[in-house]
A and B are shown apart, each in its own frame.
Chain A
Amino acid sequence: MKDLGDRALDHLREVAQRPDFSGTRYELGREVARGGMGVVYAARDRELGREVALKVVAAEMADPETIARLRREARIIAHLEHPGIVPVHDVGTLPDGRVFYAMKLVSGKSLDAQVREGPPIGERLRLFLRICEAVAFAHAHGVIHRDLKPENVMVGPFGEVLVMDWGVAKHHEELPATDGSTAPPAGPHSDHDTAHGTILGTPAYMAPEQARGEIDRVDSRADVYALGALLYFLLTGRAPGRTKAGPDEPTRTWAGPSRPSAIEPPRRLAAGIPRALEAICLKALAPDPEGRYPKVDDLAADVGRFLEGDRVSAYPENPWRRARRFATRHRTAIALVLAYLVMRVVLLVVARI
């Protein structure tokens, strides 16, 4: 038996894991991303002459739960037609048994790469509002994302935002299966394959109830928490609870409602963050779901009010702060009035001389 050299071994491992799309409409291209459920490749759809992304899971490698998740993810996305959610074009099984789905190939960068470029706070907040729009749309259709984090948000070259990776999403309504049959029965949530105590998602951005595996308590407010964590990241460049040492440090997340001090207030990391914005962020990050915004729309509305210079619901103001906000919001008009008054005084004085 001939022994394989290192380079041959690596090459064979690579070709053996590349999905075989021969005989299909897709011409496989480069690997784009790799995740817990599968690998995403760029590909060309020969029939329609367009670039697509193919997410592939290896059927013989993955357990039935993973395969079901990929199919379910495709169905979930297919039912969420929104400019902020990447559309699915096709789903199927390859001749070698692997399951795949085809979706729009997204060009752009992930949210964390975008934030590293240091855009102004207004631009970051407008990106955040577009993420909220997509998530609120999903919620309106009974879908909770459950794994919102900077890596799962893509920002296109024109500032368009796409929320990706719905692999651990939870939906309340039964969706028709892609093969025409009925989808798995939907209970209070259709992730019947997610046992109580199972933790799905990314710890730093995960709501405490989700981190504890209390799936019965996970509802749309878990996404509100994750959006709060995203807002925290947009404001500070760090995930909530992270120490100053950097992204490789172990993340301190909520151990439960009894440890509300685990999250460092954003202003301690960046003193220039307005107090009202910090209050919005910390309200979304409340350890108890009851303490958070009840809906994503409410969170987005508060951020919108902040951008407009209006009073935000999360931040009770004393008269002095209200006056300051009023002055900041209407500073041009106030400056004009003051200038006018000064001019009148000057004229009055001159007339008396």
Chain B
Amino acid sequence: MAFPQTHRSVVLAIRSASPDERARALDVLVEAYWRPVFRHVRARWRQDDEDARDLAQGFFAAALEKEWLAKFDPERGKFRTYLLTCLDGFVAKERRAGRRLKRGGDAAFVPLETTGEDGETRELPLPDGTDLEAQFRREWARSLFSLAVESLRARCASMGKDVAFTLFERYDIDGAEASDRPSYAQLAAEHDLPVTQVTNHLHWARRELRAAVLQKLREITASEAEFRSEARALLGVEAP
């Protein structure tokens, strides 16, 4: 049955007294949040790839060192929102200090400001319609689904169900990106399988993917209420 198993929240584990457990928890959080953080720094703070990477890395290092993530209070909101607030605070501070974490204080940021005709300095506007929080949420969803796909790949390999993953990858991932998705019949012919077996494999893989997404989600949320709310945002019936 593809029902999510209860997993210990790494958001809570990051407060553990055990250094090993803390390190493992941070690894999981970095894995889930690296790309959303990197892309947010690039978009919100308009950094090039290299500087955004440095800032993202610096942020996680500082979060561990200063125990920001351990200070998260599940009663006060979502971890994702909290992390974004910490991140923006960190980058703003770095920006004020006029330095980057790894590369010394001589490096320059991509300018975020411009000087008007009156000589006043103004922040450059973001492109019209940019909703940075929505963008961060989408990158977070992308990261979570990418991780779930990797979990599914590993699970299929361990169960000797490589065909199921191959079919899933062809139909549901590559096929979704392509303009001409292969039909079930085409996939059946390619793999010398009856069509019903192709659809059964796909049903199974989707069910497992769903379970993997929810399992990852449970890991990176702090409470049952947050898990449900985020699950609704990702898969459910309510708007995030």
How many angstroms from the CA of A36 to the CA of B238 in the assembled complex? 7
Report B152 CB to chain A, min CB distance, Å: 10
How many angstroms from the CA of A15 to the CA of B211 in the assembled complex? 12
Contact (A4, B231) CB under 8 Å given A15-B172, A16-B209, A34-B237: no
Residues of B within 8 A of A1 (CB): 146-147, 150
How many angstroms from the CA of A10 to the CA of B146 in the assembled complex? 12
Residues of A within 8 A of B4 (CB): 60
Residues of B within 8 A of A10 (CB): 176
CB-CB nearest in chain A for B206: A15
Kindly state the interface size class of chain B when it binds its partner. Answer: 35 or more
- Confirm or deny: A62 has a beta carbon within 8 angstroms of a beta carbon on chain B: yes
Query: Are A16 and B206 in touch, CB under 8 angstroms?
Result: yes
Query: Are A96 and B2 in touch, CB under 8 angstroms?
Result: yes
- Confirm or deny: A25 has a beta carbon within 8 angstroms of a beta carbon on chain B: no
- Confirm or deny: A352 has a beta carbon within 8 angstroms of a beta carbon on chain B: no
- Confirm or deny: B163 has a beta carbon within 8 angstroms of a beta carbon on chain A: no
How many angstroms from the CA of A1 to the CA of B146 in the assembled complex? 7
Residues of A within 8 A of B71 (CB): none
Contact (A22, B235) CB under 8 Å given A12-B145, A16-B206: no
How many angstroms from the CA of A36 to the CA of B232 in the assembled complex? 11
Mask for A61-73, Cβ within 8 A of B = 1, else 0?
A: 1110000000000
Q: Which of B142, B237, B238 has the most CB of A within 10 A?
A: B237
CB-CB nearest in chain A for B4: A60
- Confirm or deny: A30 has a beta carbon within 8 angstroms of a beta carbon on chain B: no
How many angstroms from the CA of A37 to the CA of B236 in the assembled complex? 10
Within 8 A of B (CB), among A189-246: none
- Confirm or deny: B75 has a beta carbon within 8 angstroms of a beta carbon on chain A: no
- Confirm or deny: B80 has a beta carbon within 8 angstroms of a beta carbon on chain A: no
Q: Which single member of B1, B174, B177, B237 contacts A38 (CB below 8 Å)?
A: B237
Within 8 A of A (CB), among B114-165: 138, 141-142, 145-147, 149-150
Query: Are B141 and A16 in touch, CB under 8 angstroms?
Result: no
Mask for B1-45, Cβ within 8 A of A = 1, else 0?
A: 111100000000000000000000000000000010000000000
Query: Are A20 and B206 in touch, CB under 8 angstroms?
Result: yes
How many angstroms from the CA of A117 to the CA of B146 in the assembled complex? 47
Contact (A35, B203) CB under 8 Å given A12-B145, A13-B141: no
Query: Are A12 and B236 in touch, CB under 8 angstroms?
Result: no
- Confirm or deny: B92 has a beta carbon within 8 angstroms of a beta carbon on chain A: no
CB-CB nearest in chain B for A11: B176
Contact (A96, B207) CB under 8 Å given A3-B35, A36-B237, A61-B228: yes
How many angstroms from the CA of A38 to the CA of B238 in the assembled complex? 9
Query: Are B209 and A61 in touch, CB under 8 angstroms?
Result: no
Query: Are B146 and A4 in touch, CB under 8 angstroms?
Result: yes
CB-CB nearest in chain B for A12: B145
Query: Are B235 and A16 in touch, CB under 8 angstroms?
Result: yes
Query: Are B2 and A95 in touch, CB under 8 angstroms?
Result: yes
- Confirm or deny: B173 has a beta carbon within 8 angstroms of a beta carbon on chain A: yes
How many angstroms from the CA of A95 to the CA of B2 in the assembled complex? 8
Contact (A13, B238) CB under 8 Å given A4-B173, A62-B228: no
Q: Which of A20, A34, A35 has the most CB of B within 10 A?
A: A20
Mask for A2-29, Cβ within 8 A of B = 1, else 0?
A: 1111011111110111101010000000
Query: Are B236 and A22 in touch, CB under 8 angstroms?
Result: no
- Confirm or deny: A301 has a beta carbon within 8 angstroms of a beta carbon on chain B: no
How many angstroms from the CA of A10 to the CA of B3 in the assembled complex? 22
Q: Which of A17, A61, A62 has the most CB of B within 10 A?
A: A61
- Confirm or deny: A58 has a beta carbon within 8 angstroms of a beta carbon on chain B: yes
- Confirm or deny: A97 has a beta carbon within 8 angstroms of a beta carbon on chain B: yes
How many angstroms from the CA of A3 to the CA of B35 in the assembled complex? 9
Query: Are A20 and B142 in touch, CB under 8 angstroms?
Result: no
Contact (A22, B200) CB under 8 Å given A5-B177, A15-B172, A61-B228: yes
Residues of A within 8 A of B138 (CB): 9
Residues of A within 8 A of B2 (CB): 20, 95-96
CB-CB nearest in chain A for B225: A63
Within 8 A of B (CB), among A78-92: none
Within 8 A of B (CB), among A45-59: 57-58
Query: Are A97 and B1 in touch, CB under 8 angstroms?
Result: yes
- Confirm or deny: B210 has a beta carbon within 8 angstroms of a beta carbon on chain A: yes
- Confirm or deny: B91 has a beta carbon within 8 angstroms of a beta carbon on chain A: no
- Confirm or deny: A39 has a beta carbon within 8 angstroms of a beta carbon on chain B: yes
Query: Are B173 and A61 in touch, CB under 8 angstroms?
Result: no
> What residues of chain B have their CB less than 8 Å away from a CB belonging to chain A?
1-4, 35, 138, 141-142, 145-147, 149-150, 172-174, 176-177, 200, 203, 206-207, 209-211, 213-214, 228, 231-232, 234-238
Closest 5 CB pairs of A and B: A11-B176, A17-B235, A16-B210, A8-B176, A61-B231
- Excluding A5-B176, A8-B172, A16-B210, 6 further A-B contacts by CB distance (< 8 Å) are A2-B150, A4-B173, A17-B210, A17-B235, A20-B207, A95-B2
> What residues of chain A have their CB less than 8 Å away from a CB belonging to chain B?
1-5, 7-13, 15-18, 20, 22, 34-39, 57-58, 60-63, 95-97
13 contacts between A and B (CB under 8 A): A1-B150, A7-B176, A12-B173, A13-B141, A13-B145, A17-B210, A22-B200, A37-B237, A57-B237, A58-B236, A60-B3, A96-B210, A97-B1
